[in-house]
């Protein structure tokens, strides 16, 4: 107690520091099971406190205790893995949104554009949609406060709030001479986990699943029931591309729709025994015979990988696409003081064959602090239920690989500069009505209009050939060969130099597809782009082909 009194006496100038010291000291009293570990813990907590005390007393500018401690916590957790994070009370709504897909606000996607934030897309029937906000609207003010220079997260924070609270916006709209004022109530906004479902052709259904919130199973089940009631289903395609995951239990319940009762779907193993769990199919499936294709890509993660991995390991469906992300770490939330939350990694996922889907080893970092993937020498062979060979090493390798289609440099540049988005706003202003999403065609006349529109816009890019040539020139200069072949380099540079106008027509089909999808979102929201893309998408076409071919489908699932 003498030491404690001495510390308190020297720290009268800063109440927040006193509270930190008390917390650290009280915590240290509970650590008595391992003497060496306890000493190391107490020593480093004391060092941390001492550094903070010296900064607080002597740093030239005032220190904000909450900000600097949060920075320290974030840096500590970052050294573990990207998923172990501290969430203060002010960000609790973000956690609720991740698990429920629900938040209070205006319901709109926004992004930074120059000095201001732009409305990218109001969600259908959201407050922003009902109030009449349009894609391309520039937010000038929120409740009288100028948004010039504001970042997207700052604007998002101002737009969110409790339902039935008012928010005022002043926006600049393309084609309007005067700024527009809006006032409306925030509402509870719920994003769908299943943005689209429908029939691709007779007997073959398609369900797009964008995340695993607490309504994911309910929405998938409702989609299946609706499709089944009106069609003689022979096959179903479940699209998990770009699905970042979410709640494990939702993945288990979705698998159980098609996997027999009693089968293990996923298991978790952690350092603490309470995190060791086995999740089985607990009820009889609603359809144990329908053919299934699961589409994945490198952005399919976590719960998406559980579904794809379970279908593959139990030989219940064919996985199509590209290798999944490889996020096999389980997070649990722990309540902290002052209403904060620690989202901490407590276990790893193991799919039915026994393999772990985690790709990156965060626990054993290299000397430089970097992390590495599981090396080939440590990759282990496993077997599916039918005896097919599968491997760990992170992620789920598809049964049928479809190489991703990469965009040209000019397309990437047009997207990054938001020119395709801006043109779609211009297009809608000049075309109040268009054909339905499944029948829309961007004409050559429209495309020529885009080419003319983009002429005075600022965008450029380098081709890979130009980059390689520049690297070769630098190497030649370093090795003193350049002067001897300078003329040849100049001729080659001229031949390889890209021509934007030429590229606009060389990659016309690709750019037309991007413009068409962006235009359709302006008229028919996200749904429009999905419907437009259904019969053009390479992975969907391949999954459809496999489901329709009984012999190939069965052969893929045999060893």
* Crossing angle (nearest 10°) for helices 35-58 and 15-30: 180
421 vs 515: CA distance, rounded Å: 8
Counting residues of the chain whose pLDDT is more than 90, the rounded percentage is 66
What's the CATH number for 196-404? 3.90.226.10
Q: State pLDDT tens for residues 390-425.
A: 999 889 999 999 999 899 999 999 999 999 999 999
Alpha-carbon separation of residue 507 from 405, 416, 465, 501 (angstroms): 13, 17, 16, 10
98, pLDDT greater than 90: no
DSSP E strand stretches across 297-340: 318-321, 329-335
Please indicate whether residue 480 is annotated as part of the active site: no
pLDDT of 370: 73
Average the pLDDT over 523-545 and give the result: 96
Alpha-carbon separation of residue 460 from 450, 497, 499 (angstroms): 16, 12, 10
Q: Where are the alpha helices (DSSP H) in 101-215?
A: 127-131, 152-159
Q: State pLDDT tens for residues 33-62.
A: 566 667 888 888 888 889 888 988 999 998
pLDDT of 259: 97
469, pLDDT greater than 80: no
12, pLDDT greater than 60: no
47 vs 430: CA distance, rounded Å: 65
Question: First-to-last CA distance in the chain?
Answer: 71
pLDDT of 339: 87
Q: For residue 462, what are its two tokens?
A: 């380098």
The strand pairing partners of 167, in sequence order, are 184
Strand 341-350 relative to strand 85-87, pairing: antiparallel
Per the model's pLDDT, the better-predicted residue between 257 and 366 turns out to be 257
Most confidently predicted of 275-279, 456-460, 472-476, 483-487: 275-279
Contact of 368 with 335, CB cutoff 8 Å: no
Of 170, 253, 327, 522, catalytic? 327
pLDDT of 107: 93
CB-based contacts of 261, cutoff 8 Å, min separation 6: 280, 281, 282, 283, 284, 285
Average the pLDDT over 218-230 and give the result: 97
Per the model's pLDDT, the better-predicted residue between 487 and 152 turns out to be 152
Contact of 141 with 170, CB cutoff 8 Å: yes
73, pLDDT greater than 80: yes
Of 81, 137, 313, 503, catalytic? 313
Among 110-124, 134-148, 460-474, where is mean pLDDT lowest? 460-474
Work out the pLDDT band at 378, boundaries 50, 70, 90: confident
Per the model's pLDDT, the better-predicted residue between 272 and 26 turns out to be 272
pLDDT of 401: 97
Work out the pLDDT band at 496, boundaries 50, 70, 90: low
- Say how many C-beta atoms besides its own lie within 10 A of residue 509's C-beta: 9
Mean per-residue pLDDT over the chain, rounded: 88
Please indicate whether residue 550 is annotated as part of the active site: no
Work out the pLDDT band at 472, boundaries 50, 70, 90: confident
346, pLDDT greater than 80: yes
556, pLDDT greater than 60: yes
325 vs 359: CA distance, rounded Å: 8
What's the CATH number for 102-190? 2.30.42.10
Average the pLDDT over 71-79 and give the result: 90
pLDDT of 494: 67
Q: What is the residue extent of each domain of the chain?
A: 2-63, 102-190, 196-404, 409-461+499-544, 464-496
Of 128, 193, 208, 302, catalytic? 302
Tell me which DSSP letter residue 418 carries.
T
Please indicate whether residue 536 is annotated as part of the active site: no
pLDDT of 27: 47
Among 114-128, 136-150, 480-494, where is mean pLDDT lowest? 480-494
Average the pLDDT over 259-266 and give the result: 97
The structure's pTM equals 0.85
Work out the pLDDT band at 15, boundaries 50, 70, 90: very low
Alpha-carbon separation of residue 342 from 68, 86, 89, 335, 391 (angstroms): 17, 5, 11, 6, 33
Work out the pLDDT band at 249, boundaries 50, 70, 90: very high
The strand pairing partners of 109, in sequence order, are 121
Work out the pLDDT band at 28, boundaries 50, 70, 90: very low
Alpha-carbon separation of residue 367 from 82, 188, 372, 374 (angstroms): 18, 48, 11, 17
Identical fold for domains 102-190 and 196-404, yes or no, is no
pLDDT of 36: 67
């Amino acid at each position: 107690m003498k030491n404690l009194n001495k510390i308190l006496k020297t720290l009268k100038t800063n109440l927040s520091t006193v509270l930190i010291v008390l917390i650290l000291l009280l915590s240290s009293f509970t650590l008595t099971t391992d003497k060496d570990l306890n000493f190391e813990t107490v020593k480093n907590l004391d060092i941390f406190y001492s550094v903070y005390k010296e900064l607080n007393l002597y740093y030239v500018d005032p220190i904000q205790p909450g900000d600097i401690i949060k920075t320290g916590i974030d840096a500590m957790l970052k050294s573990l893995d990207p998923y172990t994070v501290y969430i203060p009370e002010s960000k609790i709504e973000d956690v609720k949104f991740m698990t429920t897909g629900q938040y209070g606000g205006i319901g709109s996607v926004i992004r930074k554009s120059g000095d201001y934030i732009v409305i990218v897309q109001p969600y259908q029937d959201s407050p922003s949609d009902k109030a009449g906000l349009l894609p391309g609207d520039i937010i000038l003010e929120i409740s009288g406060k100028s948004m010039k220079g504001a970042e997207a997260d700052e604007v998002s924070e101002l737009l969110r709030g409790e339902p039935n609270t008012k928010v005022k916006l002043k926006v600049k709209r393309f084609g309007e001479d005067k700024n527009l004022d809006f006032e409306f109530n925030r509402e509870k906004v719920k994003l769908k986990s299943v943005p689209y479902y429908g029939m691709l052709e007779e007997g073959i259904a398609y369900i797009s699943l964008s995340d695993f919130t607490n309504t994911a199973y309910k929405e998938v089940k409702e989609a299946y029931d609706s499709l089944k009631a009106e069609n003689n289903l022979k096959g179903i395609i479940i699209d998990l591309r770009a699905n970042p995951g979410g709640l494990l239990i939702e993945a288990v319940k979705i698998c159980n729709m098609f996997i027999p009762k009693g089968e293990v779907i996923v298991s978790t193993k952690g350092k603490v025994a309470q995190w060791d769990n086995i999740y089985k199919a607990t009820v009889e499936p609603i359809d144990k015979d329908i053919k299934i294709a699961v589409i994945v890509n490198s952005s399919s993660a976590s719960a998406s990988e559980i579904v794809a991995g379970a279908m593959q390991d139990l030989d219940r469906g064919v996985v199509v696409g590209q290798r999944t992300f490889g996020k096999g770490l389980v997070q649990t939330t722990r309540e902290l003081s002052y209403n904060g939350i620690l989202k901490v990694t407590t276990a790893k996922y193991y799919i039915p064959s026994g393999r772990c889907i985690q790709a990156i080893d965060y626990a054993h970092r290299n000397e430089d602090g970097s992390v590495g993937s599981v090396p080939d020498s440590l990759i282990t062979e496993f077997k599916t239920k039918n005896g097919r060979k599968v491997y760990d090493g992170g992620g789920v390798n598809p049964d049928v690989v479809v190489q991703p289609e990469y965009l040209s440099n000019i397309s990437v540049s047009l997207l990054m500069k938001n020119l395709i988005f801006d043109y779609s706003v211009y297009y809608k202003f000049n075309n109040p009505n268009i054909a339905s999403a499944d029948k829309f065609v961007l004409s050559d006349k429209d495309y020529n209009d885009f080419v003319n529109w983009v002429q005075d816009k600022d965008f450029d890019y380098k081709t890979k050939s130009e980059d390689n040539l520049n690297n070769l020139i630098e190497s030649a200069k370093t090795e003193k060969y350049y002067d001897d072949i300078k003329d040849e380099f100049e001729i080659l540079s001229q031949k390889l130099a890209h021509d934007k106008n030429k590229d606009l027509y060389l990659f016309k089909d690709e750019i037309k597809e991007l413009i068409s999808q962006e235009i359709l979102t302006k008229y028919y929201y996200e749904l429009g782009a999905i419907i437009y893309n259904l019969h053009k998408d390479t992975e969907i076409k391949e999954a459809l082909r496999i489901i329709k071919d009984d012999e190939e489908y069965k052969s893929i699932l045999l060893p």
